[in-house]
A and B are shown apart, each in its own frame.
Chain A
């Protein structure tokens, strides 16, 4: 069965500094990996995904993520954080080996301080 872990409940970063939000996964087949962002009292917005190909995936709002098969990780990154990036970030995984189910991590709350 697939699973996904976000080891940090919260990440604090100063505006203008690079940010990283960590995600690791476990699947039986090939992983399909996603990042979503949730602003207060809002739905989940899709940021980016990895299906196949280039390990570095670029997405919305200047975010990118790096797929690392050997470390089973898919960390979300941004070179220069903005205060407006403060939100709840979810990593999600779907397993090519089965099912229609996308499993979400517990979420990481990002605080960007001005």
Chain B
């Protein structure tokens, strides 16, 4: 069964450092997302991405965050200057199309710890 893959599974970084989280969405999917979850709590929407541009973003997704699809397979989330409160599990997800009924499929997550 096709799946979303994420790397790294866990990263520890110093406050103020830049972090890049990587994702390979399911191959025939066209819509890509990043969500985050702090300490096993609520899953929060960060951003959606389609046709090489951001289609929607939340208030969490401020100027320190950026997303990119550098090639035909990878989808990345960059945090420019990490803060302690950025510590969370970051989930990449993808869906096949833009119809509202399309299911979003999630990766296993990248656990980011900022120290």
Contacts and interface: CB of A to CB of B under 8 A. Distances in A.
B104 interface: yes
Nearest to A31: B100
Interface residues of B, number: 26
Contact of B41 (A42, A51, A95, A107): A107
Contacts of A107: 41-43
B43 A44 contact: yes
Contacts of B55: 100
B103 A42 contact: no
Interface stretch (B12-20, B66-74, B77-85, B105-113): B105-113
Nearest to B92: A43
Contact of B91 (A30, A43, A88, A95): A43
B45 A102 contact: yes
B3 to A, nearest CB: 9
A103 interface: yes
Contacts of B33: 100, 102
A34 interface: yes
B50 interface: yes
B90 to A, nearest CB: 11
Contacts of B48: 100-101
Contact of A100 (B50, B91, B107, B109): B50
A99 B55 CA distance: 8
A104 B41 CA distance: 11
Q: Which 3 A-B pairs have the closest CB atoms?
A: A51-B101, A100-B48, A104-B43
5 contacts: A43-B107, A96-B100, A99-B56, A101-B56, A101-B58
Given A32-B100, A95-B100, A100-B98, 4 more contacts: A34-B104, A43-B106, A43-B109, A104-B43
